[in-house]
Structure 1
Amino acid sequence: MDIESISIVLCGSTFGLILRIFIQNNLKINIGFNIQNTSIVNFISSFILGILVALDFINNKILLLFYLGFLGCFSTFSSFVYQLFVLFQKRKFMLLFFHYTEVIILSFLCFYLGYYLMQIIK
């Protein structure tokens, strides 16, 4: 990887990290049940990924900026796994199961919604 590619990834990752920290610290959504901020970030990330996949970028620099840089730092897979681990340690197996399925299913639906909306717009 050359210095230009590394710079592009660093730029994208910086903005992804800043946005993730902002959302995790400032956004509270309650729609009858508590959605953790990590899950919200994963849903937004999946939606953005769906849009980017639908746009089908060929330019390698754009792929590095958005896919690897921005979404790589914005999405929070390790935090999701940690939340599952904490539920496992506390022996809250039903909550672990529901949290896992919630994030996986809703992330997929957000991805598909972003993809579908871009297909309509195209």
Structure 2
Amino acid sequence: MKIQTFFYLLLASYLGTFLRLFIDNNFIISILGSFFVGFIISKRLSYSSEKILLSGFFSCFTSFSGFIYFLYKILNQGDLIRFIIFFNLIIILNLFTMYFGFLISRKIT
């Protein structure tokens, strides 16, 4: 990996983290991140650009730990049914949102 690519990866990671802190809503972040990941994977980007966006920006922006913490809080309250519903709903909704982003990107190009 070139030093310049590494620098851009760090910058994208910083921007994704900063934007995540600015929005401060796990559900909105998850939906936006899924949509734009689907949008990006549909494009024919260079290997380094794809890694910068997907591994840098979106991995820090959508952060799996935010999703897990949200589910942990529900499970810690002892509400197993609500936990199962939210777990499945979040995963299914994000998959559909990612696919929708993929389709929108294909329609644009």
Whether TM exceeds 0.5 here: the answer is: yes
Residues in 2 aligned to 1:20 and 1:41: alpha-carbon distance in whole angstroms = 7
For 1:60, the aligned partner's letter is Y
Query: What amino acid does structure 2 have at the position aligned with 1:109?
Result: F
Higher helix share: 2
Q: CA RMSD in A?
A: 1.4
Q: TM-score, normalised by structure 1?
A: 0.82
Corresponding residue for residue 10 of structure 1 = 10
Give, in angstroms, the shift of residue 121 of structure 1.
1.4
Gaps of 5+ in 2: none
The count of aligned residue pairs is 109
Q: Match of 1:6, as an amino acid? A: F
Q: Percent sequence identity over matched residues? A: 27
Counterpart of 2:39 in structure 1: which amino acid? Answer: I
Find out whether 1:113 has 2:100 as its counterpart. Answer: yes
TM-score, normalising length: structure 2: 0.90
Q: Is the 8 A contact 1:38 1:76 kept in 2?
A: no
Rounded Cα–Cα distance in structure 2 between residues aligned with 1:18 and 1:98: 30
Partner residue of 2:89 out of 102, 106, 122 = 102
Unmatched runs of 5 consecutive residues or more in structure 1? 25-36
Cα distance in 2 for residues equivalent to 1:103 and 1:64: 25
1:51 aligned residue? 39
SS class of match (2:49): helix
Q: Aligned partners of 2:6 and 2:42: how far apart in 1? A: 25
